[in-house]
Amino acid sequence: MKAFRNTAALIVALCVGGCADEPRSPTLWSSPEQSQQIPVDVNAVLSENLAALANPDGFAGQIEPSPNDINFDYYALVVIWGTLQPIDIPNGKGLDWTGSMSFNGSGLFSSVIGVDLESNTDAIANDSPDGIIDWKSFTHSDYDGIGSVVRHDRRTEYDVPPALAIVTPLFSTELTLDQLEHYSGIHSIDGSNAVAIMAHRIQQNVCGQGQLTGRWLRKRAGDVAGVILGNWLASCDDPIGRYDGRYWVADNGDHLFEGVVSKLGYDTAIGHFSGTWNLDGSFTGKLVCTNYGNIGDLSGDFDGISTSLGRSGPMQGSWQFVCKDMSSPHSERNIE
């Protein structure tokens, strides 16, 4: 059991708090504009737990699929509730914060942690359905909380933007994916009790990489032009997309290739690549996204493209995103 206290807050508590035994109505916290500046001690608790969740050597490093898989976005989220605003008098009546957290999109919660939960009164349910976390929590001049990593499948298309919902008897709120990118806020329930939330996107796939494997095919025997196609793979060799394109020799003698990358199971292009190839079959190129320009590099080999008399041969290589400044929440470069 922990609490934040400060004698300077006594007068504020007496003027604002009112009667501790009055019934409280659920508070809808729907906008970050309602939030106030988070006290230093509360911010420290949130930050410490958020850092533990987002640590690639800790909880986040245990997530499957890997946070380096470009098909998924990962968000770390911590919520604490109870006596968060300093006060030197007891609240009188204990409060019931039993509630749930859910995600209405294609995603899962993982690495769920409790924040200062007392074993005799508080608990996280271990039988909740996928996409839901249920808990039991009671506070009396102290605080409790919960934290989790949210894994969102970015390949899913929605008619309504997905959101994360937090519901207790005393407050409820929804956070969009844009808010989960980088969010912090605190909302007062009464003179001493409040709810504080901190979230950010886990920036682990800034330098994502993987392989590509497929074939080159000549249009006709002896041609120096044809098509290329194959699988776009993550670093763990799992297919995450398809690529197709062409190779040819330009009028000035340059050996060129280009193509598009599509989501697995979709025809929509999510990235483009182009480059040059040599007579020994080696190739190098750039990954390009319409919104970001150059986002990475690729290289590999058209095996036997200049020496084989056959109509086709293997194509294999690797790709890697250009590493950006990891301090920026918008620095990540994915093919989308």
Q: Any bridge partners for residue 214, and if so which?
A: 230, 315
More confident residue, 327 or 58: 58
CA nearest to 54, candidates 33, 30, 81, 73: 73
Q: Any bridge partners for residue 123, and if so which?
A: 136
List the structure tokens of 189: 């329930």
Helix (H, G, I), strand (E, B), or coil: what is residue 29? strand
pLDDT grade for 105, boundaries at 50, 70 and 90: confident
First to last CA, the chain: 46
Q: Is-cis flag, bond preceding 56, omega within 30?
A: no
Residue 147 identity: G
pLDDT grade for 96, boundaries at 50, 70 and 90: very high
List the structure tokens of 33: 């504009």
List the structure tokens of 180: 């989960």
Residues 207-250: tens digit of each pLDDT:
568 899 999 998 877 788 999 999 998 776 778 889 999 999 99
CA distance readout (Å), 219 to 79, 93, 216, 257: 60, 80, 10, 15
Domains and CATH numbers, the chain: 7-201 (no CATH), 209-321 (2.40.128)
Asked whether residue 114 carries a pLDDT value surpassing 80, the answer given is yes
pTM of the model: 0.56
Q: Cα separation of 121 and 115, whole Å? A: 13
Asked whether residue 125 carries a pLDDT value surpassing 50, the answer given is yes
Q: What is the pLDDT of residue 92?
A: 57
Helix (H, G, I), strand (E, B), or coil: what is residue 34? helix
Could you give the count of Cα atoms lying within 13 Å of 29 in the half-sphere of its Cβ? 25
Query: Which has the minimum average pLDDT: 139-153, 167-181, 242-256, 316-330?
Result: 316-330
**C-alpha dihedral over 264, 268, 270, 274, to 10 degrees?**
100
> What's the average model confidence in pLDDT over 117-125?
85
CA distance readout (Å), 175 to 104, 203, 260: 11, 19, 34
Instruction: Output helix, strand, coil percentages for the chain, rounded to the nearest 5.
Output: 10, 45, 45
Q: Cα separation of 192 and 178, whole Å? A: 30
% of the chain surpassing 70 pLDDT? 74
More confident residue, 34 or 112: 112
Cβ 28 vs Cβ 172: under 8 Å: yes
Asked whether residue 320 carries a pLDDT value surpassing 80, the answer given is yes
Could you give the count of Cα atoms lying within 13 Å of 144 in the half-sphere of its Cβ? 22
Q: What is the pLDDT of residue 17?
A: 29
More confident residue, 56 or 43: 43
Residues 238-258: tens digit of each pLDDT:
788 899 999 999 999 999 999
Q: Cα separation of 71 and 155, whole Å? A: 6
More confident residue, 194 or 93: 194
Average pLDDT of the chain to the nearest whole number: 77
Asked whether residue 16 carries a pLDDT value surpassing 50, the answer given is no
